[in-house]
Chain A
Amino acid sequence: AQSVAQPEDQVNVAEGNPLTVKCTYSVSGNPYLFWYVQYPNRGLQFLLKYITGDNLVKGSYGFEAEFNKSQTSFHLKKPSALVSDSALYFCAVRPPYNQGGKLIFGQGTELSVKP
């Protein structure tokens, strides 16, 4: 079955330190990969996506993600965390030849950045 895993329910980071939110996927072929952020009681906001090309993708608010095909991973990173980065982060995948363009989401990782 096609799936996305975010192995950490919560990630705690001190402000100014680098952060990583992990994502692995189980999809055959070459999927499209996405990261979203959600603040409490709000919709999801798009951060970045990988379609093809350079394995390091840069996105909004200083976030970037590294695609690793051999490890089927797409980890989200930021060199220096801010308290305002505290939110719920979702990794998502769109399988190739996917009907309707729907995304499969991971269960989410709660990021907490402390001053």
Chain B
Amino acid sequence: DGGITQSPKYLFRKEGQNVTLSCEQNLNHDAMYWYRQDPGQGLRLIYYSQIVNDFQKGDIAEGYSVSREKKESFPLTVTSAQKNPTAFYLCASSMGKAGELFFGEGSRLTVL
């Protein structure tokens, strides 16, 4: 079945540690996105990528980094510079200008 796979589902981190969230898609979509979800704030865009080896900052990119070395993969690193990293992170992909976004099941990061 085609879809988007995020891992891990749950992740705990100590302050000062970097963590990487995985996102893989087999939908052959060109564009991929990372959103952060906090209660009552909807989804906020962190980074997005339209093609391999290219990506752009979203609205809240500070403290995060990404790479897009393969079409299928768009990992997100939450660095120690991110001041409030505890959140639910959602990866998505889409094809074309009018295409809807397809979402993964999310990764919940908790900083201890």
Q: List chain B positions with a Cβ less than 8 A from chain A.
A: 4, 6, 31, 33, 35, 40-45, 48-50, 56, 58, 88, 90, 92, 94, 96-106, 108
Do residues B106 and A101 form an inter-chain contact, with CB atoms below 8 A? no
**Sample (25) of A-B pairs whose CB atoms are under 8 Å apart:** A32-B97, A36-B103, A43-B4, A43-B6, A43-B90, A43-B104, A43-B105, A43-B106, A44-B90, A44-B92, A44-B101, A44-B103, A45-B103, A46-B102, A100-B49, A101-B31, A101-B96, A102-B48, A103-B101, A105-B35, A105-B42, A105-B43, A106-B42, A107-B40, A108-B42
A49 touches B (CB below 8 Å) = yes
Do residues A46 and B31 form an inter-chain contact, with CB atoms below 8 A? no
Residues of A within 8 A of B99 (CB): 101
A51 touches B (CB below 8 Å) = yes
Residue from B41, B50, B88 within 8 A of A100 (CB atoms): B50
Residue among A41, A45, A103 with most chain B CB within 10 A: A103
Using A90-B42, A107-B41, A107-B42 as known contacts, say yes or no to A101 and B97 having CB atoms under 8 A apart. Answer: yes
CB of B7, distance to nearest CB on chain A (Å): 13
Chain B interface helix/strand/loop/mixed: strand
Q: Which residue of A lies closest to B101 (CB)?
A: A103
Using A101-B50, A102-B33 as known contacts, say yes or no to A41 and B41 having CB atoms under 8 A apart. Answer: no
Q: How far is the CA of A42 from the CA of B9 in the complex (A)?
A: 10
Chain A interface helix/strand/loop/mixed: mixed
Indicate the size class of the contact surface on chain A.
Answer: 20 to 34
CB of A7, distance to nearest CB on chain B (Å): 13
Residues of B within 8 A of A45 (CB): 103
- Counting from the closest, the 8 A-B pairs by CB-CB distance are A43-B103, A107-B42, A105-B43, A44-B103, A105-B42, A43-B105, A46-B100, A100-B48
Q: Which residue of B lies closest to A107 (CB)?
A: B42
A99 touches B (CB below 8 Å) = yes
Q: How far is the CA of A43 from the CA of B49 in the complex (A)?
A: 19
Q: How far is the CA of A90 from the CA of B102 in the complex (A)?
A: 14
